Structures are given as structure tokens and as C-alpha cells.
Amino acid sequence: MSVVREAAVAGRFYPANAHDLRSQIEGLLQAARPCQASPKGIIVPHAGYVYSGPIAATAYAALRSLRGRVTRIILFGPAHYVRLYGLALPSAQAFETPLGRVPIDVDAVEKALTLPQVVINDAAHAREHSLEVHVPFLQEVLGDFRLVPFAVGEATPDAIAEVFELLWGGPETLFVVSSDLSHFHDHDTAARIDAETTQIIESLRFEDLSGERCCGFKPIGGLLRAARNRGMHVRTLDLRNSGDTAGPRDRVVGYGAYVVE
């Protein structure tokens, strides 16, 4: 990978034009349900903005008060396109979106690479949307920050939680975990399954998560494992699906927004 990881899904998952992108994000944030939160982590969906953007915006709107305080984002998302063992970081020194470049926290990358389950794998990042779609939201809400992006493959909750613990930091560090919920059920079936999954997440029962419930169940599991270790709790901010936003109701994808406090 070159020095810069260029945007791969601009123009598909979100607008490629900076003005249009900023306008869409601001519209989503203004329409979001108001919520007071000062989280250590959030769980947010990663579909195209027209589908999951309203739900993701509920969590991102809650971060507005953290602008200027949070300066490092540790981002985790499932690897969709490459079979991967462990967690992968890119060799790039910046992520680029239509809103500009975000520097990679090189020191944090070097620290994470001391763990055997963490590797450099550019192929895992080249096309990955589960990480990229969150960066414009973060740019708009937080302004300047450094990024540590992990594509997550086959790894245990304990192995992933070890990465969280290593990079836990202080109030300058926020964890963002990317995941959609159930896939391709009818609206009412998805709503029932996603409500069950939400109860599991709120109860920190990472052992009961699976790929049928959420595509990012592995990074969610690592976050819940770390949260349990630290006596933290999870609160649900929003729970809907694509049938509630922009898609048909006979075949939907579920979306949830959660904060870890």
C-alpha cells in the first residue's frame, strides 16, 4: 500500500464530492435523536449512508461534546474481502476521504504490532468499507484526530480484548466498532432477532454473539470482553433496519447504535 490509503467506496457508500458528503453528514446529525453521552466506545453500522446513516448518526451526534478532547480513534471492523487470521493494520501513514487525510497513529501501530495476533496486511484494507465509512463521520464530528484502523479476522474475544487493553489510553482515546446486525430477513423477523442481539450486547454476553446475529461479532466481542473486565456497561441509542430507512421491508439489514460507558 502507498503512503496514503485512498478512499475505496466514495461515490457508492457515500458521496464522492466533499460538499455533498459534508451536507449529507450534517443533515443526518441534525436529524439524529438527541442523546447525552461521554463514551469510551461506540458500536455503529457500516452500510451505505442512505441505509444505515441515520442510525450511525445517533451515536456520532453524541460525540460532538468530545471534539477537541478525543484525538485518537481506535477503529475495528470485520474483514469482508480477505480471509484473515488475527487483526490487520495497513502500512499506510494516512487514510484519505473526500474530506481530507487522517494521519495514522504510527506509535500506536508499532505498539499494537508487539502482539502476535496483530499483523500488517494491506490487502485486508484495500477494499474494506466497514472501516472507511466511519472516517468521514469522525472527521466532521471530531475535527483533527489520529487513526488506528484494525481489520478483524479470525481471533478470539480474549485476543481482541488484549488489543483494546493495550491501546486503552485516557480520555483522548475513543474506540469505534463497526458492525451491522442481522441480514436479509423480513422486517419483523429482523426486528425480533436484533432486539435479542441488543439484549446480548447490553448484557456484555459476548459468548452468545455469532455471525448470524452481527457481521462484526468478533470485534464487538472483544469490546464487550474488555468492558466486562473494566466494569463498564453498554447503552442502546438506536435500533432500526433498512426497512425503516431506505429499503424494502421483505429483505432487510439490521442496524444498531450503542455506547460503552
> H or E element: which one contains 227?
helix 217-229
Q: Which residue ranges in the chain fall short of pLDDT 70?
A: 1
Nine-digit cell string for 149? 484502523
pLDDT digits (tens, 9 = 90+) for 130-149: 999 999 999 999 999 999 99
Strands (E), 23-82: 41-44, 72-78
pTM given for the model: 0.98
- Cα Rg of the chain, angstroms: 17
Residue 179 DSSP one-character state: -
Domains along the sequence of the chain with CATH: 4-260 (3.40.830.10)
Give the pLDDT of residue 1: 67
Number of residues that this document lists for the chain:
261
Q: To which residue does cell 508487539 refer?
A: 114
Q: Which pLDDT does position 27 carry in this prediction?
A: 98
Coil, strand or helix: which one is 118? strand
Alpha carbons 205 and 48: distance in angstroms, whole number: 28
Instruction: For the chain, give the mean pLDDT.
Output: 97
- Look at strands 183-185 and 173-178 and give their pairing: unpaired
Closest CA relative to residue 105, chosen from 124, 122, 92: 92
